[in-house]
Amino acid sequence: MRPICLPLGVAGGTSTSSIVIMATFALDGREKCGGLPVQRYSPATLAARLGSEFRLTQQAKESAPDPLGLGAALQLRGVQRQA
């Protein structure tokens, strides 16, 4: 499976000053979801993946319920595209 190219996908779908809200699995989150491996991010690793074109505006860590009743550690982030 090829990973989605976040910088191109997000940059291609936004314009300057656009705000994007993302939810990703946290570093201490699960390693698989639905039997498939997931990519986990910290604020620093996601910022590196997005590049300098995006600036972090907000972040939070949440635990979301799943169908099995287990919590999934998620990182929620708001990023803004720079000029």
Of 38, 12, 19, 36, the C-alpha closest to 27 is 38
Residue 16 C-alpha from the chain's centroid: 19
Q: What is the pLDDT along the chain (83 residues), one digit of tens a residue?
A: 444 455 557 777 888 889 888 888 899 888 888 888 988 988 888 888 888 888 889 988 888 887 777 778 888 889 899 87
The answer to whether residue 56 is domain-embedded is yes
The answer to whether residue 50 is domain-embedded is yes
How many independent structural domains does the chain possess? Answer: 1
Q: Which residues form the domain of 13?
A: 6-81
The answer to whether residue 20 is domain-embedded is yes
The answer to whether residue 36 is domain-embedded is yes
The answer to whether residue 1 is domain-embedded is no
Of 19, 17, 20, 21, the C-alpha closest to 82 is 17
